[in-house]
């Protein structure tokens, strides 16, 4: 794979000091989801997303911060327990096939829920979820700090029924930076951890029998740090702060396959 890669796009945060997000690439998701009719972002999450939870200084850092009990920030469940950050490239940068690699250090603490993921760009044109398709490059929880997981969601296989695979790393993912990636082509997605293949799902997978394959079109990237919710479980009452750090994002064509929009 390596000798036929061509770098099409890159965000290298490691050289940036006290920088701000490039507004031509990134947008913020703010709040708790209530304003778009999905309080808790549809997952019973406890965080409230703010723009100032994100900073760039040698890495892009999303910081989740516990709020005082009398926080003036109001959410669907009352005063916000945590603030955090969520960014995406919808309507700005899109990807169709190719190799996408994100070098990141995961947060520490029970109740943290970091995610590096893609949604079908058809979502912003009116297709609903999960019909638009979702590719989770990585999704993890602080309750399972050694676990690497890659998943797809689509019509008839979403939520806890998404097609997924878990592997266990020998060290906790918050101890160091690792590279999480997908190598994606028509009718096939491969998941990589530090360059090693650990999961493959193809359109003819028997688990997809009779179900739509929603992954042969443009997707956009999302990076966020959620707190709590159904996937992450109970939040450690002693958790005060957690960080998801991104060193770089690189997008390549492989053997000529891969289109940046």
Query: What is the rounded distance in angstroms from the CA atom of residue 71 to the CA atom of residue 143?
Result: 26
Choosing from 45, 47, 101, 139, which is the catalytic residue? 139
Pick the closest to residue 132 from 197, 215, 256, 243 (CA basis).
Answer: 215
Report the length, in residues, of the chain: 261
160 is catalytic: no
Choosing from 45, 134, 190, 243, which is the catalytic residue? 134
Residue 216 sits at the vertex; the CA angle it makes with 188 and 247, to the nearest 5 degrees, is 75
Query: What is the rounded distance in angstroms from the CA atom of residue 225 to the CA atom of residue 114?
Result: 4
Asked if 10 contacts 251 with a C-beta cutoff of 8 angstroms, the reply is: yes
Query: What is the rounded distance in angstroms from the CA atom of residue 78 to the CA atom of residue 142?
Result: 24
Query: What is the rounded distance in angstroms from the CA atom of residue 104 to the CA atom of residue 126?
Result: 32
139 is catalytic: yes
Asked if 134 contacts 149 with a C-beta cutoff of 8 angstroms, the reply is: no
Asked if 49 contacts 56 with a C-beta cutoff of 8 angstroms, the reply is: no
Report, as residue numbers or ranges, the catalytic residues.
134, 139
């Amino acid at each position: 794979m390596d000798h036929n890669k061509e770098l099409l796009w890159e965000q290298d945060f490691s050289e940036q000091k006290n920088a701000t997000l490039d507004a031509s690439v990134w947008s913020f998701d703010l709040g708790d989801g209530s304003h778009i009719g999905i309080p808790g972002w549809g997952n019973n999450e406890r965080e409230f997303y703010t723009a100032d939870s994100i900073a760039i200084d040698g890495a892009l850092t999303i910081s989740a911060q516990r709020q005082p009990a009398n926080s003036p920030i109001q959410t669907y469940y009352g005063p916000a327990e945590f603030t955090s950050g969520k960014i995406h490239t919808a309507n700005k940068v899109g990807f169709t096939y190719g190799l996408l690699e994100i070098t990141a250090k995961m947060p520490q603490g029970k109740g943290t829920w970091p995610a590096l993921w893609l949604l079908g760009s058809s979502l912003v044109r009116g297709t609903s979820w999960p019909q638009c398709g979702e590719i989770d490059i990585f999704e993890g929880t602080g309750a399972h700090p050694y676990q690497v997981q890659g998943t797809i969601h689509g019509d008839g296989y979403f939520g806890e029924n998404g097609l997924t695979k878990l592997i266990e790393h020998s060290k906790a993912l918050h101890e160091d930076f690792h590279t999480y990636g997908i190598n994606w082509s028509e009718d096939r997605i491969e998941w990589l951890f530090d360059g090693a293949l650990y999961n493959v799902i193809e359109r003819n997978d028997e688990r997809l029998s009779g179900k739509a394959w929603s992954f042969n079109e443009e997707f956009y990237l999302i990076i966020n740090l959620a707190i709590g919710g159904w996937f992450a479980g109970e939040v450690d009452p002693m958790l005060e702060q957690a960080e998801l750090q991104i060193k770089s994002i690189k997008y390549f064509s492989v053997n000529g396959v891969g289109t940046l929009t």
